[in-house]
């Protein structure tokens, strides 16, 4: 019989994390105002620009996503259409998640100060990234934490709460309508109860999840249609070795913010050693104490990792990035603290907290010190508007980069996506692929006409997954038909070039095949 810890050391004497919640807003709000949008955020702005009904339709059709977040943002933006206000929805999710992290820690880590976990949630590289994105990931992270919290109160606790069960079903439904991957947590909960041998509770849990499943039925037909049109085939199948390597890298990134560090070889071995120690100590704690909280965390995490590995095999690594795996943030934060608490040493636990926090803070400083997101489209637009002259069309590659650039560019020339613009009915990354020189030349001629000079904005994206956009063909056309008058480099790693036609006009190449 696996017993719950009976006397929580911090249950009564821990102060609520109000100050930490305020600090999270102080960190995220100015950045939300200052940072430019990336092209994924431009998708959200386009999807939610015409009301809730259109947002629902666009999320399902164009975005191939669950519709709840986009419908909420469409309503949210009816108050204020600015980029900052759209991003503010995600920002608000961060302090709420800080409170949830605090509450979850009080349940699962009875001998660790829950303010440690709340403080890490404030500066965790992925929670901050999610809070600064006009996408569903901040809401996804909040729901994932609520599921972990309500699972404990409704099913794992010695005195399960009926009210918590009701809220768990509600949050489960909202989660499924927000991000399909959150469904993995619902299966993980069943696995926890199965391993713990809580048969009566498991039956109640299955019954509750059946209710959530019935409510989700309207989405099942939509989901099956999305899967039939799934564009994940742009990914080459991952070998078992590659899949394990990709999953390891994501786990490492969610545990410790070390990607900014040099000495790649030494860093890899250090992380292997640290995580080996964490896993060994965590298993030792389970073997010694047999506490249900520890077993629940372990099973929960293993099941989630297994499902994400399956998703990576099916959907490819592009659709299983760290942000998609945000439901692992809390479990992977809690487990090391549980592991080090086996020694009953507050000093050791505090040392781990200090290490994690310092790495997170340093990582945030490194990532956000340029005050720009990849693409740097706001500064690019400012440069273009200050430097351009009439009849100098602006070519943009890759094609999707034209969307965030339009948010900031209000100049006198036309923005032209190369090789073609993605329609808003159905997004297909294959539209970014340059087929041949003839296609590119025709597109430039139709847009530039007799213009002697054109601008070229290249945001550095040359492929998605194993799909290559054939950037070499673009460079061939530039070298063949233009001279580069000036080049300006921006963040990550956008370049803006002013191109002047050679004496021979751009024309149809001899070999158009």
Residue 223's contacts (CB-CB under 8 Å, 6 or more residues apart) are: 180
Q: Name which of 48, 43, 40 is nearest 71 in CA terms.
A: 48
Phi, psi values for residue 47, rounded to 5°: -65, -30
Contact (CB, 8 A) for 141 and 93: yes
Q: Specify the 3-state DSSP secondary structure of 266.
A: helix
pLDDT at 511: 44
pLDDT at 16: 87
Q: Specify the 3-state DSSP secondary structure of 492.
A: coil
pLDDT in tens, the chain (513 residues): 465 554 445 554 567 899 999 999 999 999 999 999 998 999 999 999 999 999 999 888 887 889 999 999 999 999 999 999 999 999 999 999 999 999 999 999 989 999 999 999 999 999 999 999 999 999 999 999 999 999 999 999 999 999 999 999 999 999 999 999 999 999 999 999 999 999 999 999 999 999 999 999 988 888 777 666 654 456 667 788 888 999 999 999 999 999 888 777 788 899 999 999 999 999 999 999 999 999 999 999 999 999 999 988 887 777 889 999 999 999 999 999 999 999 988 999 999 999 999 999 999 999 999 999 999 999 999 999 999 999 999 999 989 999 999 999 999 999 999 998 887 767 778 888 899 899 999 998 888 877 889 999 999 888 887 788 899 999 999 999 999 999 999 998 899 999 998 865 555 544 443
User: Domains of the chain by range and CATH?
Assistant: 18-368 (no CATH), 377-501 (3.40.50)
- pTM for the full predicted model: 0.93
pLDDT at 448: 82
Phi, psi values for residue 252, rounded to 5°: -60, -45
pLDDT at 402: 93
489 has which bridge partners?
Answer: 495
CA distances (Å), origin 453, targets 239, 286, 304, 408, 409: 47, 69, 53, 22, 18
pLDDT at 52: 95
CA distances (Å), origin 489, targets 52, 406, 408, 456: 39, 19, 18, 12
CA distances (Å), origin 92, targets 22, 61, 131, 191, 329: 11, 28, 8, 32, 18
Contact (CB, 8 A) for 408 and 379: no
CA distance 157 to 3: 10
pLDDT at 266: 82
pLDDT at 510: 42
Q: Name which of 119, 179, 109, 116 is nearest 147 in CA terms.
A: 179
Handedness of CA 422, 423, 429, 431 (dihedral sign): negative
pLDDT at 463: 84
Q: Name which of 434, 443, 440 is nearest 468 in CA terms.
A: 434
């Amino acid at each position: 019989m696996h017993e719950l810890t009976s006397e929580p050391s911090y249950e009564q004497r821990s102060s609520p994390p109000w100050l930490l919640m305020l600090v999270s807003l102080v960190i995220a709000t100015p950045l939300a105002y200052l940072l430019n949008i990336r092209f994924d955020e431009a998708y959200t702005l386009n999807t939610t620009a015409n009301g809730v009904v259109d947002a629902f339709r666009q999320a399902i059709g164009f975005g191939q996503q669950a519709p709840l977040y986009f419908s909420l943002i469409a309503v949210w933006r009816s108050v204020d259409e600015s980029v900052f206000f759209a991003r503010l929805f995600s920002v608000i999710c961060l302090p709420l998640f800080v409170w949830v992290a605090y509450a979850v820690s009080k349940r699962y880590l009875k001998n660790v100060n829950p303010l440690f976990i709340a403080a890490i949630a404030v500066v965790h590289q992925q929670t901050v990234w999610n809070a600064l994105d006009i996408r569903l990931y901040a809401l996804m992270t909040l729901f994932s934490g609520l599921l972990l919290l309500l699972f404990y109160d409704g099913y794992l606790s010695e005195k399960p709460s009926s009210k918590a069960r009701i809220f768990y079903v509600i949050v489960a439904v909202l989660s499924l309508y927000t991000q399909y991957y959150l469904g993995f947590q619902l299966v993980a909960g069943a696995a926890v109860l199965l391993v713990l041998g809580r048969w009566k509770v498991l039956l109640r849990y299955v019954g509750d999840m059946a209710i959530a499943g019935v409510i989700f039925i309207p989405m099942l037909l939509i989901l099956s249609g999305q899967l039939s049109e799934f564009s994940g085939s742009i990914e080459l199948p991952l070998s078992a070795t590659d899949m394990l390597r990709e999953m390891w890298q994501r786990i490492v990134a969610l545990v410790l913010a070390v990607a900014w560090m040099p000495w790649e070889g030494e860093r890899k071995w250090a992380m292997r050693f640290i995580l080996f120690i964490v896993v060994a100590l965590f298993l030792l704690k389970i073997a010694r104490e047999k506490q249900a909280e520890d077993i629940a965390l372990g099973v929960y995490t293993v099941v989630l990792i297994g499902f994400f590995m399956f998703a990576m095999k099916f959907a490819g690594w592009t659709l299983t990035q760290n942000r998609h795996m945000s439901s692992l943030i809390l479990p992977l934060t809690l487990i090391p603290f549980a592991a080090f608490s086996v020694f009953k040493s507050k000093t050791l636990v505090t040392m781990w907290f200090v290490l994690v926090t310092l790495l997170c803070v340093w990582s945030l400083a490194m990532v956000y010190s340029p005050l720009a997101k990849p693409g740097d489209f706001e500064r690019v637009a400012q440069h273009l508007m200050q430097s351009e002259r009439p009849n100098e069309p602006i070519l943009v590659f890759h094609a999707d980069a034209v969307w965030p650039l339009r948010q900031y560019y209000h100049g006198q020339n036309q923005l032209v996506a190369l090789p073609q613009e993605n329609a808003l009915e159905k997004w297909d990354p294959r539209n970014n692929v340059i087929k041949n020189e003839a296609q590119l030349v025709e597109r430039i001629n139709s847009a530039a006409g007799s213009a002697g000079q054109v601008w070229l904005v290249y945001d550095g994206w040359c492929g998605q997954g194993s799909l290559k956009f054939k950037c070499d063909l673009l460079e061939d056309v530039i070298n063949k038909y233009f001279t580069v008058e000036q080049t300006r480099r921006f963040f990550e790693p956008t370049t803006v070039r002013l191109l002047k036609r050679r004496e021979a006009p751009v024309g149809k190449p001899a070999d158009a095949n």
